[in-house]
Structure 1
Amino acid sequence: MRALGRDAVLTARAQPVATATAAVVVALVTLVTLLTTGRAAATEAAVVASIDAVGTRLVVATDTTGEAGIDPATVRSVAALGSVSWAFGLGPAVDVENVGAGRAGPVPLRAFVGDLPADVALTVGRLPTSPGEVVVGRAASSALRMPDVAGAVSDGTRGLAVVGQIHGSGPLSFIDQGALRPAGADEDVPLRYVYVLAGSATGAQEVADALRALLVAEVPAAVDVSVSDGALELRDVVAGRLGAASRQTMAGVLGVGLVLVTVTMLGAVAGRRRDFGRRRALGATRSAVVALVLVQSACAGLVGAVLGGIGGLVALRIDGVAWPSASFVGGVLVLAVLVTLVGSVPPAVAAARADPVRILRVP
């Protein structure tokens, strides 16, 4: 078998035109596949990633009556799950005003339990470290007339120091309209909302089920746990349509490549008819001739796939398009080599079944 492989490699080198032609065909197939389907795959991944942002992964538990009494321990229990990226809870709203600016406001102040996620970005100052400190949203700082985000707000019974400004994005943009303070360690804050971010969009429903199971509340029936079903359906539709279009394009390119490889190898086999006839006359089996043609084709296909893959990735980079995943690129290279082998089967069988006596007969 090793001798057969060595003989096939030497034969491929001895026929540079046929080998190079097959390699160029495979390289073009790989290149076109990456420039079309690869581009589409990268676009699909980017679109799905944007849909997979906080909106599709967010699970929200809401106290619909204001009397459910959601225990803060729920946040700690849910945040400990491996499928959860972050979790925090918000208590009831209390109006606060900036007494230093002629009672500017009011804006809603809520106590929060847990750590604020990265989607709530700190833009000015620092985060509060005690129940007597607050951060205000961008819109809230304007309503409180605090352009420098410094001063104090009051709920009518006590004053709280403003230490920073935050900005919520996406589904958490509502935070811009109010102010937040951390709940004290010994403070029993009944939560009105619990926000949980699932690790993936496909796992959002499982996280919602886990949240229902771990929920600690005085009236659990008054708590509604919701996920973004519409966004999840949109994700599946977009991924399905983009994926179907990519698969159709790839099938067309590979089909054309299969035909071209078959024609190329038929020409190469026709040029070596007398060589194959000599081998058969000297005792070579039909399977040995088939293997010889397939190994020669595999060598050309491997070289062509690698060159086409490199060329495709370079072209995508020059065009400013993100590369598809490594698994996708590897799959394209493997498919290109397989197309070469499949396209070489008919010529290989034809060479093996040819009558050596007729081929070697001298007129």
Structure 2
Amino acid sequence: MSSPEQQLAPPVPEPLPATPDLLTGAAPSGTVERTPTGRWPGTPRPSRLLADGVKSALAQPVATATAALVVAIVCLVVFATTGQSAAAERAVMDRIDGAGTRLVTAFDQSGNAHMQARGVEDLARLDSVSWAFALGSVTDVRNADTGGLSPGVALRPLFGGLPPALEVITGRAPREGEAVVGVDAARTLGLADGVGIVTDGPRSWPVVGVYEAAGPLASLSSGVLVPSPTTPLPPSGPGTSAGAAPPVEARYLYAMATDVGAVDPLAAALPAVVPAAEPRQITVETPDGALVLREVVAGELGASSRQLMAVVLGVGLALITITMLGAVAGRRRDFGRRRALGATRTAIIVLVLVQTGAAALAGVVLGVGGGLAVVHRLTGNLPDPTFTAGVATLAVLIALAGAVPPALAAAHRDPVRILRVP
């Protein structure tokens, strides 16, 4: 039988089961056990943080649209200023790099090097060479149809085929044993239509076309070229033996490097690749003046545009910071509730950064698309793809950097003070 005190004592309620925070998985205050998923209290879940950050961006359309607009304006200004300069720089560099800065020339001025023509085939196989050809010794030829009364021009054997830098403008490309004349030589010989015969007296070659050379090869427009084999023909006739013919020699060799960076290695390797009796007698020339000009032009065009881009990005960083400060201030009670329920400071920082990143991506898509259209409209060219990707990446990074101070401020606020009812 119970005493009167026991009969009057109120019943002790049973404790409610602990319910972790749905966002962070944090256990209620006063417990330190791990959650059923094995996480420590307050550990953020990346997938839920990412989803919640995107929802937060959609839930604050004004702040998100403002941040996206700032990023888009930054991209537009960068493309309208620095992007225009980058497009112009790319056009200038493409013109400089067309041939003048990548052509390597080797020649046997005295004829004592005995440079073999078959070396052009080995040279053309190198990965750093776009194309290569060689020229042999000069033969003076005239128009056979004028009875030898026309002025003479220089004919050279061509080894390695007609290069792309020599464009056939009349007729067709020559085969072995046929001749093609340069535009200046065609006027001299009276063969502007690209049809006729040239002769040096004992030998004759049919003319099948006219070519035009420009840039560093412009001097070849005043001559005649005849494709020839790079190895000697087998001897024929009575009393001859195999291997009696000497190797075919070339006097000039031209090689086009794949890019500017391959010019110096190609020039260094060229004497070793091309067989010669006296390799030291081979003179190798590189376009040093054009390379210096390229560096100067690239530096002058890029310096001012990079400074302007830095200013624009700095202004964008300040505007993003101000925008996100306002967005964070509008959600201070939400962040306070999360902190009171056990959300970590890291979770709050990630939420702010994800919200900013979503806005920045939308702004980059809009700004880069509009910027490329503006640059193409103004210059007719587009910036290098690496420049476009760099601007997009910098814009996103600037937005995230601008959101760091507001995110830190939101994470370090006292949740008790935020949730206190006045």
Q: TM-score range by the shorter chain?
A: over 0.9
| CA RMSD of superposed structures (Å) | 1.9
In the alignment, the residues of structure 1 paired with residue 256 and residue 214 of structure 2 have an alpha-carbon distance, to the nearest angstrom, of: 14
Local SS of the residue matching 1:160: strand
The question of 1:240 aligning with 2:286 is answered no
Give the Å deviation of 1:111. Answer: 1.0
**Identity fraction in percent:** 51
1:200 to 259, 266, 271: 259
5 Å-filtered alignment, 1:350-361, equals 350-361=409-420
Give the TM-score taking structure 1 as reference length: 0.93
Residue of structure 1 equivalent to 2:182? 137
Contact 2:192 / 2:210 at 8 angstroms: preserved in 1? no
Structure 1 residue ranges, 4+ long, deviating more than 4 angstroms after superposition? none
Contact 2:176 / 2:226 at 8 angstroms: preserved in 1? yes
Give the Å deviation of 1:6. Answer: 2.5
Unmatched 5+ stretches in structure 1: none
Give the Å deviation of 1:68. Answer: 2.5
Contact 2:84 / 2:379 at 8 angstroms: preserved in 1? no
In the alignment, the residues of structure 1 paired with residue 176 and residue 365 of structure 2 have an alpha-carbon distance, to the nearest angstrom, of: 60
Which structure: greater strand fraction?
1
Give the Å deviation of 1:88. Answer: 1.1
Residue of structure 2 equivalent to 1:336? 395
Residue of structure 2 equivalent to 1:347? 406
Local SS of the residue matching 1:55: coil
Residue of structure 2 equivalent to 1:163? 208
Question: For residue 118 of structure 1, what is the amino acid of its counterpart?
Answer: P
In the alignment, the residues of structure 1 paired with residue 186 and residue 351 of structure 2 have an alpha-carbon distance, to the nearest angstrom, of: 78
2:336 to 277, 280, 286: 277
1:9 to 54, 71, 83: 54
Give the Å deviation of 1:300. Answer: 1.2
In the alignment, the residues of structure 1 paired with residue 327 and residue 389 of structure 2 have an alpha-carbon distance, to the nearest angstrom, of: 28
5 Å-filtered alignment, 1:234-273, equals 234-273=293-332
In the alignment, the residues of structure 2 paired with residue 273 and residue 195 of structure 1 have an alpha-carbon distance, to the nearest angstrom, of: 71
Unmatched 5+ stretches in structure 2: 1-44, 234-246
5 Å-filtered alignment, 1:281-360, equals 281-360=340-419
Aligned CA distance change for structure 1 residues 240 and 273 (closer, same or farther; 3 Å): same
In the alignment, the residues of structure 1 paired with residue 338 and residue 277 of structure 2 have an alpha-carbon distance, to the nearest angstrom, of: 88
Contact 2:135 / 2:157 at 8 angstroms: preserved in 1? yes
Aligned CA distance change for structure 1 residues 361 and 114 (closer, same or farther; 3 Å): same
Give the TM-score taking structure 2 as reference length: 0.81
The number of aligned residues is 362
In the alignment, the residues of structure 2 paired with residue 92 and residue 262 of structure 1 have an alpha-carbon distance, to the nearest angstrom, of: 72
5 Å-filtered alignment, 1:83-232, equals 83-101=128-146, 103-131=149-177, 133-184=178-229, 186=232, 188-232=247-291
The question of 1:18 aligning with 2:63 is answered yes
Cα-to-partner distance string for 1:155-203 (whole Å, 9 max, x where unaligned): 1223322222111111111111111112245355421101111111110
Contact 1:153 / 1:159 at 8 angstroms: preserved in 2? yes
In the alignment, the residues of structure 2 paired with residue 7 and residue 177 of structure 1 have an alpha-carbon distance, to the nearest angstrom, of: 74
Question: For residue 265 of structure 1, what is the amino acid of its counterpart?
Answer: M
Contact 1:183 / 1:189 at 8 angstroms: preserved in 2? no
Aligned CA distance change for structure 1 residues 282 and 227 (closer, same or farther; 3 Å): same
- Whichever of the two has the greater Rg, that structure is 2
In the alignment, the residues of structure 2 paired with residue 265 and residue 204 of structure 1 have an alpha-carbon distance, to the nearest angstrom, of: 51
